[in-house]
Amino acid sequence: MPMVYSRARVAEQAIDAGAVLVNDVSGGLADPAMLAAVAAGGVPCVVMHWRGHSHDMNSRAVYGDVVGEVVAELRARMDAVVGAGIPPERLVIDPGLGFAKLAQHDLRLVAGLAELRALGRPVLVAGSRKRFLGRVLAGADGTPPPADGRDAATAALSAIAAHQGAWAVRVHDVRATADAVRVSHAVAETRAG
């Protein structure tokens, strides 16, 4: 599924070329023309939690209650997106793992997916190979594995997210993740039956 990021002109061109979803990591904040472009294009839009550009986002990773604050900030972005003419049924939300968040924030957000789902929109979890997984997997000396050494952790995270009702996960190693999600669903079905 083709996706586009943060620039309205790129989104317009991608939609014209057949893109079926716009994934704007800024939630329409980086380019003021983005929301109008998506509304005109008639495609679904991923609205990610975002507090600023990568050069200063770590300084913005300050939360009292990360889940509550992310939910409130996403709700405000959803209102802005709908106000710009994008129907609410075309919205997908993303908690923005790794964006203006420390490892403990990312883990808490994954644990709190039910609170994000309460916003009433599908939830995309994009944690593949992220820095917080490296922190979880770090050796005794604190050295995290390289990004491509985090695929098993990504599969585990994706299975947890799927079990908690995530609509989709974004990953690098599709096969391992699909297998992990299938096993998670099989266990859940057995428990329900």
pLDDT per residue of the chain (193 residues) written in tens, 0 to 9: 444 457 899 999 999 999 999 998 888 888 989 999 999 999 999 999 999 777 777 778 889 999 999 999 999 999 999 999 999 999 999 999 999 999 999 999 999 999 999 999 999 999 999 999 999 999 999 999 999 999 999 999 999 999 999 999 999 999 999 999 999 989 989 887 6
Question: Are residues 185 and 94 both part of a single domain?
Answer: no
Of the residues 126, 152, 171, the one at which a domain ends? 126
Report d(CA 79, CA 192) in Å as an integer.
Answer: 36
The domain of 39 spans 1-126
Determine whether 5 is exposed, middle or buried from the number of CB atoms within 10 Å of its CB (0-12, 13-18, 19+): middle
**Residue 77 falls in the annotated catalytic set:** no
- The CATH number linked to 14 is 3.20.20.20
Question: Are residues 108 and 139 both part of a single domain?
Answer: no
**Residue 101 falls in the annotated catalytic set:** no
Question: Are residues 100 and 155 both part of a single domain?
Answer: no
The H-or-E segment that residue 76 falls in is helix 66-83
Quote the pTM value: 0.90
Number of domains in the chain: 2
Select which of 130, 135, 182, 191 is catalytic. 130
Select which of 170, 175, 182, 191 is catalytic. 170
Question: Are residues 181 and 119 both part of a single domain?
Answer: no
Of the residues 95, 126, 157, the one at which a domain ends? 126
Question: Are residues 1 and 72 both part of a single domain?
Answer: yes
